[in-house]
Structure 1
Amino acid sequence: MSHPAANSQPVAFSPSVERIDEDEQKVFADLDQTLSKIREKTFEDSGHARRSVHAKAHGVLRARLSVLSGLPDTLAQGLFAQAGEYDVLMRFSTNPGDVLHDKVSVPRGLAVKVFGVPGERLAGSEGDVTQNFVFADAPAFSAPTAKKFLANLKPLAATTDVAEGAKKALSATMRVAERVVEAFGGESSTLISMGGHPMTHVLGASFYSGAALRYGRYIAKFALVPVSAELAALADQEVDLDDRPDGLREEVVSFARSHRMEWELRVQLCTDLESMPIEDASVPWPEDQSPYVAVARIVAEPQAAWSEAIQKVSEDGMFFSPWRGLAAHQPLGNVMRSRKAAYEQSARFRAERNGTPVTEPADLSTFPL
């Protein structure tokens, strides 16, 4: 298999590529306070503690990741330094902190946990043997920094206890508004985050890290793209969600039961810090300067994507954080730095309120089939 090279030499990683603002820790504290309000409200309403964001899962898959052989030196970094195979867990979700009817159509997420990964660890992850990635179905983050994300999150957090019927109506309005924006050649991340996301099949989406990570000696963004024919055919396929509050999950479960699914894991190397900024996560990196290139494949055989047992383990017993992994894949930039404490706090909250330990598993031996 050939591996097309980027047009320019990739930028070497150095701690100097990050720029930490003086008020960063205060912003992170304010962000956690806002996320905490969402957690507390959903716990008060349901009696069960959930994630602050991406609370609703649409399916969880067991899979295998195969690192491609023959990667050039610039791509043979970190987890991908040599060919190998690893067990993987994939959790598909949508981004609100409350569990809503799927007609409230919002951006989708995918969290990936790779098991049995050797190597130097990130601080706080020293005892782990996993590499976590978190993705969303857009090539860039919805805000440049945690401060701007916080400004966008506050009005959304205020809707946590709004009646679901009102949220459905808002979502429909936002979808109409987004179509108008798109008709003029644009796209509004604000409209989409408010409920303007198309009502499409979750498994047909391509997912992106949005923000940057260290890639061994270099810097990269990641993407996960469906490549098996029947899976790729789901891209942009609309799903009828009328009277189906969990319609997205039903579609994932039905498809996964009878299909072999295959994705490419791709990386986009940073070749220019001006056009590919680290601290502004809202900027898509130009693919004509540095294309996404495959470094691994993930394959999931037909399986049950949801059950009470899967729900108990994945929703109450584990969490996904990009800060649980190799030092060679250190999350970079303000948005990524904000996730470290936020994800840990969310996990602690669920563990304390639900009385269930939230741990980083070493393998899939105890995960339900």
Structure 2
Amino acid sequence: MRVLDHRALNRATLARQFLLCRTGLPPLEVTEHLVGLQAQTPHTWYVGLWARVAGCRPTDVADLLTSRQAVRMALMRSTIHFVSAADAVALRPLVQPALDRDLFRNSTHGRWTRELDTDAVVAAGREILAERPRTPAELGEALLERWPDNDPAALAYMVRNLLPVVQIPPRGVWKRSGRTMHAPLDEWVDAPARTASLETLVLRYLAAYGPATVRDIQMWCGLTKLSEIVERLRLVEFAGGYLDLPDAPRPDPDTPAPVRFLYDFDNLLLSHKDRSRFVTDEFRTKAVTPHGPVPNPVLVDGATAAAWTVEKNHGEATLVVRTFLPMSAADRDAAMAEGLDLLAFLEPDAAHCVRFDAVA
């Protein structure tokens, strides 16, 4: 049986993620190919599309939210994702078991919600949100009038997990702020129903993140017991339990990988049980801290060799690149050029500078 080493896995996934070469496809089409972007922060996920789409502008992406062609809502792993409106409608029922598990096994909310009549809470939540969008706090207080001995945050979280709701703009719109306001998905978007199944979910995952094992697929979506689903599909098998689409791209492992700046919750780094195809030991030990912010990775030769932040001071924006592995002169030049492009995307009105700090 053919063996795929880490470098072969790395290049195959980078190709499907448009990280070997940016694509000219529109952002919405790329978002659908990626089966959404994790977007629990209001704005950092915009960098995920910039890194993959040639000529991507923040306004192009923000317009998808304000025009309701795309939404931000809880989906895979019960985390907030930016997805097309059509995918929101199609995917939400498929990942419901992950949302159920998150709700009822949640140490904070689970003890409040396990004994409730879930249908009654969801019906009340829908009725409240149909009147007007509400913040989680407002929703919880309104539900507390009917369930006065409960916890308002737990009641709101129950609705968030059991009723498909979206976080409406201006939340998530580039350079704008706003509280989290929930509205029912079916009232916010008018998307045609799509045929969706766990089989198609697995195939779409492999098209964007493969080759992968069943455990990788389950890590990505938060679902369990997918082996029997996978067994029904016509896939190619590799040593170590890796599965793939027969005609999916698997480039030569020696294919060059350009420097790429990713964002803190980029699904590239969160969608495999074994993250070693991208994440280096140096990044895990030097960039990731127990109580600090999630770092923004820099890929060099396809692996996490550095992390980046932006410092702003008196009209100047400095991209600080903290390197954990040695970088060649050519890689540093590439990181400089890519970093200046990133600053032009993030801070177009500022003066730009890139600084490298080596971390021992």
TM over 0.5: no
Structure 2 length-normalised TM: 0.26
Whichever structure has more helix as a proportion of its residues is: 2
TM-score by length of 1: 0.25
